């Protein structure tokens, strides 16, 4: 089976299964004997990522966070008590745990569309109002991100970030503008839904893969 076909098959798997599996792997990495369990989980997730065709550069970037965390803890304990030994082991334990988290999480995100993950949460009996807020927030996050990006571009064109004072002022205006647009958009959405007879049920079907 080719990598593309394998990846496609993995993407098509039930999101609940993948989310549950990822959560289980993360908990095993945290609860198991350190640093061996976390290392094993990280290596397995790394191999799986390579098998399904993840780019090596992306994987290395993820492991960079783990390396940084491990080094930071080593340095922290070295700074506090340089005479005591074991700082390197603490750094190793933390580094492997973060590596396990980063690789498992990266694999989950690479193989599962965001909509499917939201559907999986819904299927796991997340309270309906909360699931509704999550579903709506997902729909509008990208819209708002684009709106904020457009506003920022316009500010840059008007030299809004020229100088510290202007830059700070523009940043605040950008936040305010994004929020005002968010509220306007929310209002329009709610009214449109109400006009179509919707009374609070804005949820996607559970297990929605679209």
Partner 1 sequence: MPGFSGRGCGAVLRHCLQACLQSAPLSPSAGLAALVVLLLPHPAHAMHLAEGLLPFGWAAGWTLSVLPLLALGVTRLRQRMAQSPLYSPFVAMLAAAVFVVSCMPVPVPIIGTCSHPCGTGLAAVLIGPVMTVLVTFVALLLQALFLAHGGLTTLGADIWSMGVVGGFVGYGVFHALRSVRASLGVAAFAAGMLSDWATYAMTSFELASALHGAQPLGSTLGTLLLSFLPTQLPLGLLEGAFTAGAVVFISRRRPALLKFHALPAAPATP
Among the listed residues 73, 119, 155, 204, the single contact to partner 1 using CB under 8 A = 73
- Tell me the closest approach of the beta carbon of residue 167 to partner 1, in angstroms: 4
- Of the pair 5, 144, the CB lying nearest partner 1 is at 144
Among the listed residues 26, 46, 59, 63, the single contact to partner 1 using CB under 8 A = 26
- Of the pair 1, 16, the CB lying nearest partner 1 is at 16
Q: Which stretch binds partner 1 (CB under 8 A): 6-14, 44-52, 93-101?
A: 93-101
- Do 208 and 115 contact (CB within 8 A), yes or no? yes
- Of the pair 46, 177, the CB lying nearest partner 1 is at 177
- Tell me the closest approach of the beta carbon of residue 107 to partner 1, in angstroms: 10
Under rule CB under 8 A, which residues in 98-157 are in contact with partner 1? Answer: 98-102, 104-106, 109, 114, 117-118, 127, 129-130, 132-138, 140-141, 143-145, 148
- Of the pair 1, 117, the CB lying nearest partner 1 is at 117
Under rule CB under 8 A, which residues in 30-69 are in contact with partner 1? Answer: 30-31, 38, 62, 64-66, 68-69
Positive or negative, the CA dihedral 44, 10, 16, 105 is: positive
Residues that bind partner 1 (rule: CB under 8 A) add up to a total of 91
Query: Residue with structure tokens 């304990």?
Result: 77
Using rule CB under 8 A, residue 20 touches partner 1: no
- The 3-class secondary structure across the chain, one letter per residue, is CCHHHHHHHHHCCCHHHHHHHHHHHHHHHHHCCCCHHHHHHHHHHHHHHHHCCCCHHHHHHHHHHHHHHHHHHHHHHHHHCCCCCCHHHHHHHHHHHHHHHHHHHHHHHHHCCHHHHHHHHHHCCCCHHHHHHHHHHHHHHHHHHHHHHHHHHHHHHCCCCCCHHHHHHHHHHHHHHHHHHHHHHHHHHHHHHHHCCCCCCCCCCCCCCC
Under rule CB under 8 A, which residues in 174-193 are in contact with partner 1? Answer: 174-180, 182-183, 185-187, 189-191, 193
Using rule CB under 8 A, residue 194 touches partner 1: yes
């Amino acid at each position: 089976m080719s990598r593309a076909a394998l990846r496609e098959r993995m993407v098509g798997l039930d999101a609940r299964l993948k989310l549950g599996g990822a959560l289980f792997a993360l908990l095993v990495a945290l609860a198991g004997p350190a640093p061996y369990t976390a290392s094993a989980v990280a290596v397995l997730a790394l191999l799986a990522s390579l098998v399904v065709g993840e780019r090596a550069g992306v994987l290395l970037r993820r492991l960079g966070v783990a390396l940084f965390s491990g080094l930071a803890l080593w340095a922290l304990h070295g700074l506090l008590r340089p005479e005591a030994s074991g700082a390197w082991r603490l750094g190793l334990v933390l580094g492997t745990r973060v590596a396990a988290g980063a690789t498992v999480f990266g694999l989950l995100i690479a193989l599962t569309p965001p909509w499917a993950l939201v559907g999986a949460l819904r299927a796991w009996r997340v309270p309906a109002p909360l699931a509704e807020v999550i579903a709506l927030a997902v729909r509008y996050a990208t819209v708002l991100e684009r709106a904020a990006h457009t506003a920022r571009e316009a500010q840059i064109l008007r030299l809004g970030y020229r100088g510290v004072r202007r830059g700070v002022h523009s940043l605040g205006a950008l936040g305010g503008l994004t929020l005002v647009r968010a509220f306007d958009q929310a209002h329009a959405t709610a009214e449109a839904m109400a006009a179509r007879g919707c009374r609070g049920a804005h949820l996607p079907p559970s297990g929605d893969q679209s």
